[in-house]
Chains A and B, each alone.
Chain A
Amino acid sequence: MKLVVTIVGKDRVGIIAMVSNVLAENNVNILSINQNIMDGFFNMVMIAEMKDSKIKLQDLQKILSDKGQEINLDIKAQHQDIFNVMHNV
């Protein structure tokens, strides 16, 4: 099942390293990374594959959200389908 991880916040060193560490520890495979700066905010979107992971989505969401809060970032992890259905006919 594909996951979309979005990270929004003020840019700093180590963001990608932190998030990809959490995903790697849980056997979640990163498929693509996209990043831009908009209105002074750092925005990053990662698409990842959860099928070989043992962790439940809601638990992963909590870990990412908590770690994000430690460094003032808003990190969400969502099932990819919500984006697919909205932006495809």
Chain B
Amino acid sequence: MITIDDILETNRMITENKLDVRTITMGISLRDCAHPNMQQFCQNVYDKITTSAEFLVKTGEDIEAEYGIPIINKRVSVTPIAIAAEACKTDTYVPVAEAMDRAAKEIGINFIGGFSALVEKGYTNGDRILINSIPQALTVTDLVCASVNLGSTKAGINMDCVREMGEVIKRTAELTRDRDAIGCAKLVVFSNAPGDNPFMAGAFHGVSEADKVVSVGVSGPGVVKHALEDLKGADFSQVAEAIKKTAFKITRVGQLVAREASKRLGVPFGIIDLSLAPTPAVGDSVAHILEEMGIESCGAPGTTAALALLNDAVKKGGLMASSHVGGLSGAFIPVSEDAGMIDAVTRGSLSLEKLEAMTCVCSVGLDMIAIAGDTSAATISGIIADEAAIGMINNKTTAVRLIPVPGKKVGETVEFGGLLGYCPILPVKSQFSSEAFIARGGRIPAPVRSLTN
């Protein structure tokens, strides 16, 4: 029996603690769009996206109104273009990105992901073309997001691609230097990328997925923090319990929205991603949860343990609340998108090295981090290699979304605006070279733990 207190609690979570559905993402397969003629392929892609997701935004708005839960983003993810476009006789996939961008604007979504390649074991021709097209594609389009998966526990790490992606990130930054390297904010380099992640910029529609699915990412760092405010001094068992119960409630909202969206759009339900995703808005910070647990400033000793507890408790609570859980499902630590993280960097308590340690116990990775524009490609590749290794050995997803801002140095700030936020430039130990290491190339073999049979 629902009580008045339950009802008021739910609405307080929404109005005061920023509970929301962060995204409804429709995954769309482009496997049936293949065509040797690039223009025809682009038309097929445009048509498939605009027909499939024609009512996505309206459905999101209707559900938001009827249930009283804000649905912040409506997005689309597609089959990695390196695969979908491979039959085209061409040497650039920039027109495909342009078609995706036009389609996205036509249906009113705010990002479209899937300008991607999966190269953890090696390149095909389509992969090469896609990766080469990334800098230009992200410069001439607004809503397209790109990603490259270059490592996995089963396959090891493609170190040729690691070297290349350092250079791609630098080129993308250079081409968008007049917009503070915003191209790099739309590019993710992965290890163990999931095919059903609904969050940008790393969303793509995996090749083993159905023709269309609808997935949901919920969010409520503010709700979790609020639940801990009544537990000052309580021991960790109680903290974990409170987070678990809160995660259950948050995820239940996502499950409801996903089921409704699936019904109204006539598209099968995919997964709920349990991730706690912050925004730069006040009261919506993951760092503040860690600080509520008793760390004076995020990044100080104890932070990694706090994050491990948080991530695990969120999963336990969320798992019970949903019939299918997938995507990244953990805590996000994107620096520029979290007001608490931004403050911690400014105060000096949070460094790149500490963030790297934190990526061992949470989802995502080194996300939305601005670094000095003169950081070398090899250093960036070194950072990518480190994250890929963490993911590969620990059988988890890790990623890098680094933004080397041309012309900016440590001590300055870069402003992306909106959900992408702003952040101070983080120092990197780039005075010591990684050139010779990265120049080697080849493959780091899959670790022994990949042999699970």
Contacts and interface: CB of A to CB of B under 8 A. Distances in A.
Nearest to A80: B2
Contacts of B62: 58
Contacts, number: 58
A36 B5 CA distance: 10
Contact of A86 (B3, B8, B66, B252): B252
A82 interface: yes
Interface in B60-77: 62, 65-69
A43 interface: yes
Contacts of B3: 34
Contacts of B66: 57-58, 61, 78-79
Given A43-B8, A45-B7, A45-B8, A58 B256 contact: no
A78 B2 CA distance: 14
Interface size class of B (residues with CB under 8 A): 20 to 34
A85 B255 contact: yes
Nearest to A88: B2
B4 interface: yes
Contact of B249 (A61, A79, A86): A86
Nearest to A57: B66
Contact of B7 (A6, A79, A89): A6
B178 interface: no
Contact of B10 (A34, A57, A83): A83
B320 A45 contact: no
A66 interface: no
A54 interface: no
Name the residue among A57, A78, A80, A85 with the largest chain B CB count within 10 angstroms.
A85
B124 interface: no
A53 to B, nearest CB: 14
A87 B6 contact: yes
14 contacts: A6-B8, A36-B4, A58-B66, A61-B66, A81-B67, A82-B253, A83-B2, A85-B255, A86-B10, A86-B249, A87-B2, A87-B6, A87-B10, A87-B249
Across chains A and B, which 7 residue pairs bring their CB atoms closest together, nearest first?
Answer: A78-B68, A34-B4, A85-B252, A87-B6, A82-B67, A45-B4, A86-B249
